[in-house]
Structures are given as C-alpha cells and as structure tokens.
Amino acid sequence: MVGEKLSSYLFILPALAMVVIFLLIPAGYTVVVSFTKWDGLGIPKFIGFGNYLQFVRDHVFLTSLRNTVIWVIFTLAFSVLLGLLVAYFVNRIRLANLFKSLFYIPLTISAVTTGLIWLWMYSPDLGVANTLLRLLGFPGRSWLSEVPLNTYAMIWAWTWKTVGMNMVIFLIGLQTIPTEPVEACKIDGATEWQTFRYVVFPMLRTITTVVVAMSLINSFNIFDIIYVMTDGGPYRSSETLAVSMFRESFVLFHMGYGAAIAIFLSVVVLFVSWIYVREVTKREVHY
C-alpha cells in the first residue's frame, strides 16, 4: 500500500519538477528583479517599491493600461459574441462543415502572419479597407497611424483570427445539448430568440465560462499581433501592458521596471480570472 502511494508520487515528480523549474523559480526571480533598478548587465540596485510607484507618473504605462482594458472589453464583445452567434447558426444549416472550415482557417495561421495579412489590408494606398471606402465615396484612413483607430483596427484583426476557435468550442457545447427541452420549448410556442435565451444559452454556461476565461487571459497578454502591425506606435500610443513590458525589459533595458509591469499584469489577470470564475460557478442553473 505504501509502495503504491510512493509510486504515484514518483509519476507526478517530473511534471512537478518542470513546474518548479520553468514556472515558480522564474516567477520568483521576476518578483525579486521588480524591486531593483537594473540594466541587465551591472549589479542590480534595490529600490523597494520604486518601480511600482512609477506607474502613476508614467503616461506610457497609463496609456498601455487603458489600451489593455479596451482590448479586453472589445475582445469579449466581438470575438466571444461572434463565436457564439456563428456556432449557433452554423449548427443549424446545410453545408455546416464548409462554413466551419472557413471560420476555422484563420486559427491555423500564426499571429505574426495574421498581423502581416492585416498590415496589407490596412495599407493606406493599396489596402483592401481603403479601396472599399473609396469605392463607396469615402476618403481613405490611416488605419494604423490614427489614434485610437489603430487599436480598434488591430482588435478587428485579432477577432478575425480568434472567432473560429470560440466557434468550435461553442459548437462542442451545442452538440451536447439534448433536443427534448428545445423541442418542448418550441411546441409551447416560444420564439427562436426565447428558445435561445431561456433554454440553449443557460445550458452553455460551462462552455461560456471557459471561452470567456480564455479570451480574458489572451486579451490581457496580447503582444505579437500589435508588435507586428504597429510596434506599439505611433509614439507608443497603441502599446498594451504586454508590449510595454517587453519594450522596457528588452529594448530599453529597464529590467526592473519591465519586471514590475510583468508582476502587475500577472496579478491583474489572476485576480480578474478568479473573480469571474468564482461568480459564474457559484450560480445554480434551474431549468
């Protein structure tokens, strides 16, 4: 009996060691660095909470924080909502597999390639977006230079990439819903919207929790597509916290300040995710 328990611990030991080596130790090291002023080469100088106090005086950090909040709100509004709507309607039509494939294709493309594709789409002279505007009689826009238009333009590119993933997850949930409650609701005279609102959507609560939590975490950590499309510019106006963290650490070599942004971002992501999951899971669903 003791031997069986010991062998169980031995099986999880490699995974536990990887968590400690590649997650806990780097996280602890980042916390220590965040209390220092360090250029990555010399001897770190301990400055206490100086890097964290600098947040309120740094307008770039405040702009990055505002952009991160915008990314989170609009990612949830566009990517999650569109994923749900597309899944609901694709699940009920002919040629469903064709539409699933079309919406899923962008997910197979890397974020860097997605950024390059939309960089061309938003090109001032030959881009598809400005070409369509001119055909409709409107002047072209500098999609990636105008503030805050550049942020919303990149959010739409990110939505194009991620809506397929959300659609697939919602489809999995829709295909597990029993048909009896839906058919009974329709026999009782419920409209399409009432059926969705009071029967289908409550049954998707668990799936919705997963999709929203994943979208929250991904939108807080958004980095690559912004770095490719605008490099955080112009004049650092489209940076998010993840981009600012990278620039401060590995471009400006403010390692301590960059580490402080990383810790701040991690704490915010953990706190918001914990609040959301706790509030959703403690509610009971009554059919």
The 3-state secondary structure of the chain reads: CHHHHHHHHHHHHHHHHHHHHHHHHHHHHHHHHCCEECCCCCCCEECCCHHHHHHHHCHHHHHHHHHHHHHHHHHHHHHHHHHHHHHHHHCCCCCHHHHHHHHHHHHHCCHHHHHHHHHHHCCCCCCHHHHHHHHCCCCCCCCCCCCCHHHHHHHHHHHHHHHHHHHHHHHHHHCCCCHHHHHHHHHCCCCHHHHHHHHHHHHCHHHHHHHHHHHHHHHHCCCHHHHHHCCCCCCCCCCCHHHHHHHHHHHCCCHHHHHHHHHHHHHHHHHHHHHHHHHHHCCCCCC
Residue type, 99: F
Between 47-51, 56-60, 180-184, the lowest mean confidence (pLDDT) is in: 180-184
**CA–CA gap between residue 30 and residue 260 (Å, rounded):** 8
Share of the chain above pLDDT 70, in %: 97
pLDDT in tens, 148-207: 899 999 999 999 999 988 998 998 888 888 888 888 888 888 888 888 888 888 888 888
Please, what is the angle between helix 81-90 and helix 96-104, to 10°?
A: 160
- Average pLDDT in the chain: 88
How far is 28 from 22, CA to CA, in rounded Å? 11
pTM of the predicted model, to two decimals?
A: 0.85
For the stretch 219-276, pLDDT in tens is 888 898 999 999 888 889 999 999 999 999 999 999 999 999 999 999 998 998 888 8
Average pLDDT over residues 4-8: 74
